[in-house]
Structure 1
């Protein structure tokens, strides 16, 4: 095998792997984690044999996407920590991690599914929690957030915002930003005035639509 042929094969393998991961994200978002590796291969437009050469089973696909998600969130946190303004860093982390973790419905399904076991939760905690802790600590040191704010408050805020995003996606995709703004105003210590909310509240009818979406009729 020539070097050119070897490089071409490696490129093809990498391309197929990315196609499979992209297809998995879409299927997980549409149908949950019950899809098979065969389903993923067909959706990606590659042969089943090709899929099994890249991944031994669906769990390896899930692991790859979970690891990719953790790397992306960690990179966002590192960039936020590089901002000398601790408040800007904290806000940037929340906004961008929400888009990453919960804007991608496939990734959301992977990172938040309760059936995926403690190992992934522990991995996320080990890698991401210390970065969030640093973001919160810096904001406290600069007197920008309330003194009793804890890094776990950020985690639970993200969980709540995720639920809002999931429920209201079809009605008003940006509704979660309203509640993110309310949360940020609630934790800021030096707020000169209330921040204008980026989107209006839903009507009672819209709220009912959002809350009953996906339920059996």
Structure 2
């Protein structure tokens, strides 16, 4: 086997592990192990440890990709002609990504954040501040709302998605995975500097019975 073939195989295995890691961390959060990722990728554990010394190195590689994706969303939000539409675009797309990806949500919430991730985080924070400042200056966002408020609101809303993922979905509520969007719309009405009236919410409220059902742990069997 030539050196070039070995390099191609190494690069292929690395990408397989990153893809498998993203999938596992998205579904299970950052508790999944590197061994779990190796099995999910269909490669040997030894191969996984040759590509990544530990799980943290794999998480860092995945985080670099995720930061790139989130930066793209933020720049699209800043490019929107309407500052309010830009703010909504950012929150919708960021929350949609986090609702699908528990690992990303945990990272953005700072629950697992080694010091060397600070540089990546600092790429996003100034852009979030710009999204908020642009909307404030246009008079469409409350004057007292900052970029950090948008971050904490997302942390709160992604917890709704985690509750749905862990809970027992009530019969007939195929939209349960979108429940966070109902509360996003309520939050958006509270963020606006002025509103002509309440926004129609995109998802119906759960009944008391449905809420109690959803809060029961999901049967994993």
* TM-score tier (shorter): 0.7 to 0.9
Larger deviation, residues 92-101 vs 104-113: 104-113
Once the two structures are superposed, residues 90-141 of structure 1 have per-residue CA deviations (whole angstroms, 9 ceiling, x without a partner) of 1000011112233223433444462x24526744542211111101111111
Matched, 1:199 2:171: no
Once the two structures are superposed, residues 154-191 of structure 1 have per-residue CA deviations (whole angstroms, 9 ceiling, x without a partner) of 01110111011111245311100000001111111242
User: Take 1:124 and 1:211, find their aligned partners in 2: how far apart are those partners?
Assistant: 35
Cα RMSD between the aligned structures? Answer: 2.5
Larger deviation, residues 73-82 vs 172-181: 73-82
1:41-190 superposed matches below 5 A: 41-112=38-109, 114=111, 116-117=112-113, 119=115, 122-123=118-119, 125-169=121-165, 171=169, 172-190=176-194
Larger deviation, residues 175-184 vs 21-30: 21-30
Quick one: which of 205, 209, 216 aligns to 2:213?
209
User: Take 1:151 and 1:110, find their aligned partners in 2: how far apart are those partners?
Assistant: 17
Q: Return closer, same or farther for 1:125/1:46 CA change in 2, 3 Å cut-off.
A: closer
Matched, 1:36 2:38: no
Count of matched residue positions in the alignment of Structure 1 and Structure 2: 211
User: Take 1:35 and 1:175, find their aligned partners in 2: how far apart are those partners?
Assistant: 26
User: Take 1:61 and 1:186, find their aligned partners in 2: how far apart are those partners?
Assistant: 39
The structure with the greater share of residues assigned to helix is 1
